[in-house]
Structure 1
């Protein structure tokens, strides 16, 4: 009696995202706002997670020379807000932050930190996301949880040029 030793590949993880949005489009939306100021870069849209990185430099450190906790929180909220945006029908809904917390676990003085945002709950009116931020040696630096409200109106996330034309402001 022979046994078939061939195995089937695991099924691919189903995507949590609504429609397709490229990293290039997301990068364009992040220009001329805090995302660009802090040097935050989006690096990967996986089927069930959004990844990005942020430099640890003069833009993101505190006077003691290590990563500022507020920069970690801004990084986490950036990842969750963009992930929330990707997970909704953007023609009908928008997401806004309701609550965020962060546990800062270790200091980082240089290099980059990497963040991974994954959903805990994707509901019709609220989303809850967890972000794990690690240093260049893959040591956990910060864990954050962010709750987003899903509101019924088209998303406001647009490029700087469209923000300017909507507001009537020359900046």
Structure 2
């Protein structure tokens, strides 16, 4: 059995009704968590499509950054640090028109001041839609 990369024990139950802000607007939700990965999904609907009826590349990037940021947050002591995205890139491979897209974040590097995450985005049948690399800076909470 592999050792968990998460700072505190975590389960999918911790994510019930946890969507806020941009994630809530785009209906992004966490659907799976393993010892070294996390998966979120987003529907391909009017608010996530571009004018030609296909998934908007920006929506894919929001999904990737949301899941990457969640993974980064889970891998650190949130009483001392919090993640801030400093770089994201994405390659869009296919153009779904309906269903859901799923983003699976796995770590490339988890350090004290940064973490880097690969995020693979697939459709309902497992076909790759996009892939992304996300880097988070681990910022110290301001002194209070």
Report TM bin, short chain.
over 0.9
Give the Cα–Cα distance (whole angstroms) in 2 for the partners of residues 22 and 127 of structure 1.
21
Structure (1/2) with the larger strand percentage: 2
Normalized against structure 2, the TM-score is what?
0.93
Give CA-to-partner distance per residue, 1:106-126, whole Å, 9 cap, x none. Answer: 110000111100000001111
Structure 1's consecutive aligned runs of 4 or more residues displaced over 4 angstroms after TM superposition are: none
Decide which of 4, 9, 13 is 1:15's aligned counterpart: 4
Partner of 2:67 in structure 1?
79
Normalized against structure 1, the TM-score is what?
0.79
Partner of 1:126 in structure 2?
114
Aligned residues: 142
The structural deviation recorded for 1:23 is 3.5
The structural deviation recorded for 1:81 is 0.3
Partner of 1:103 in structure 2?
91
**Runs (5+) with no aligned partner, structure 2:** none
The structural deviation recorded for 1:27 is 4.4
3-state SS of 2:48 partner: coil
3-state SS of 1:59 partner: helix
1:1-171 to 2 correspondence within 5 Å?
12-31=1-20, 33-153=21-141
Give the Cα–Cα distance (whole angstroms) in 1 for the partners of residues 14 and 4 of structure 2.
19
Partner of 1:3 in structure 2?
none
The structural deviation recorded for 1:13 is 1.2
Give CA-to-partner distance per residue, 1:3-42, whole Å, 9 cap, x none. Answer: xxxxxxxxx11100001344444444423x1101101110
The structural deviation recorded for 1:47 is 0.2
Look at both structures and tell me which one has the larger radius of gyration over its CA atoms: 1
Give CA-to-partner distance per residue, 1:112-167, whole Å, 9 cap, x none. Answer: 1111000000011110001000011111000000010011217xxxxxxxxxxxxx
Give CA-to-partner distance per residue, 1:89-109, whole Å, 9 cap, x none. Answer: 111111100000000001100
Give the Cα–Cα distance (whole angstroms) in 1 for the partners of residues 137 and 74 of structure 2.
14
